[in-house]
Structures are given as structure tokens and as C-alpha cells.
Amino acid sequence: MSATIIDGKAVARDIQLQLAEDVRSLARDRGVVPGLAVILVGDDPASRVYVNNKRRMCEKLGMYSEEHLLPAATPREEITNLIKRLNADDRIHGILVQLPLPDRLDERAVLEAVDPSKDVDGFHPVNMGRLVMGSPVFVPCTPAGIMELIRRTGIDLAGKRATVVGRSNIVGKPVSLLLLAQHATVTICHSRTVDLVGVCREADILVVAAGRARLIGRDHVKPGAVVIDVGINREPSGLVGDVDFDEVREVAGYLTPVPGGVGPMTIAMLMKNTILAARRFAYCEHP
């Protein structure tokens, strides 16, 4: 058996077509053009690439975007003052602070300065809290993208066993909550988990977000399982995931590639959240 490869690029393109239509109708019906402001502190080359991709995607969908590129040494007050200005700017519906921030900055304090109604990354405690309570507004983008890829397999999650490897606030925890909301029985693994192979092997749905190249091999995977590889690991040969693709494709029922799986979905979901924020602004549905 060989797994069906889930083409994240194709799914993301499909979503973009719908989003471009949503942008047009919002402009037509309410005269509102969704606007995204991206703040990048420092000059991390990978972050720079992500910020450029976001700008290009905004242009492609007919959205307004602004980039704020700040030197690595920028004091925290200057960053939070910029965020306050953007919070009050009606052209901007979504504010994204590109992570990671330089070590000296208190990431939490910076993220908490973003108005929750413009927090299109979904990392503000208000939006995280809503997710925990089962009534999310802005779902973090990578977890939202993962759920969309799983949805498109057509598999009903109710009663299925789902295992998530990784417990970060960005991926592991929120995706676990989303799987739970779909009535899966969820197990979360991390670096202290005993018998990772055994726990993973019970999963009908296995989501891996550990940041360890090829952590998951054939033995971790139940035959026929859906395996979502979130990992992005840079190796001299190029990008590799947390899943050993060649081994696991022989066992899994569905598998996402790296690159071309979860990655393209993340940016599509960011655009979707920004359009949602603009729609809530246009129709006065602020929290």
C-alpha cells in the first residue's frame, strides 16, 4: 500500500480562489479592503522570506498590506507604540508580529499589545482562551491549515484516536484542541513521553510538530493512518519534515509532504483570518 499524498499547495490554491472572491465582495458591498500589517524585528533571513510571501499573497488577493521592518535593537516600547497605532488604524484589520522575536524582547508582552479583534495569528490570550472554551474567533493559522487538510480527506474524526507530537502554543496545543472539538480522542506527546512509538502507533490521525528531522518512521504509524507532517527542518539537501517520508508513505493512508503540505496552508489561513477580521469590522461584529 502507498499513502495518498495530500497536496497542500493545490488545496491552498483552491482556498485562495475563494478568498479573492471574498475580498471582491467585501469591497463591493461595504467598501472595505482587508488590510494586514506585518511587523518584523531584526533581519532573520527565514522570517524575511515569510514576510515577503505574506506581502505577495496580499497583493495577489487584492488586499492592502504594510510591512514594518524594525532593527533588532528596537526597544519594546517602540514596538508596542507601533502596535497601538496599528490597533487604531481603520485601514488595518490584521496585525501580525513575525516570530521569533529577538531573545531580549518579552514575546508575551508584545503579542498581548495587539488588539484581540486584529489578532489574526490567534496568539493573544483572549483568542487562545476562546479556543479552549470551544468558541474560537481567530484560530492560529498552522493548526487551522492542518484541520482543513484533514477535513479534505473526508474522514469523520468523531471517536477516532488522534495523537499530536509537540505541545507548543503555536501548533501542538491548539491543534489538539481543534481535534478534540471534532470529537477525536486526543493524546499529546512531548519530549518526556515514554514509548513514543507505541503511543503514535495507536493513532488514526497523527500530527507531528516536533522540529526533529525524520523523528517519525514506519514503526510509529498505524497502517492506514492520516499523517500530517508540520516539521520544517533545514538540511544541506533542502527542507525535510519530522516524518521519514519514504518509510511512512508505505504504511500511512494519507501523508503530507514537506515542502508542499502544511506550509502553503498556513499563509492561506492567515489571509482567511485577515478577511474575517475585515468582515467583522465592516459589519461591526467586534467582540
210 in contact with ligand NDP (CB under 6 A): yes
Q: Under the criterion CB under 6 A, does residue 15 sit at the interface with ligand NDP?
A: no
Three-state DSSP class for 14? helix
182 labelled catalytic: no
Q: Of 132, 181, 232, 239, which one interacts with ligand NDP (CB under 6 A)?
A: 232
201 lines the binding site for ligand NDP (CB under 6 A): no
Does residue 127 belong to the site contacting ligand NDP (CB under 6 A)? no
Grid cell at residue 263: 506550509
Within 10 Å of residue 177's Cβ, how many Cβ atoms? 20
SS3 content of the chain, % helix, strand, coil (to 5): 45, 15, 40
Distance CA 103, CA 116 (A): 24
Instruction: Give residue 65's identity as a one-letter amino acid code.
Output: S
Minimal distance, residue 263 CB to ligand NDP, in Å: 4
Binding ligand NDP (rule: CB under 6 A), the pick from 12, 32, 262, 269 is: 262
Interface pattern 233-252 for ligand NDP (x via CB under 6 A)? x-------------------
CA dist 31 and 271 (Å) reads 18
Q: Which of 212, 218, 247, 260 binds ligand NDP (CB under 6 A)?
A: 212
Based on the residue annotation, tell me whether 98 is a catalytic residue of this protein.
Answer: yes
DSSP string spanning 107-130?
HHHHHHTS-GGG-TT--SHHHHHH
Beta strands across the sheet bearing 161-165: 4-5, 254-255, 226-229, 205-208, 161-165, 185-189
Single out the residue of 16, 65, 266, 274 in contact with ligand NDP (rule: CB under 6 A).
266
Catalytic residue list contains 54: yes
190 binds ligand NDP (CB under 6 A): yes
Q: In the complex, which residues of this chain contact ligand NDP (CB under 6 A)?
A: 142, 165-168, 170-172, 189-193, 196, 209-212, 215, 230-233, 262-263, 266
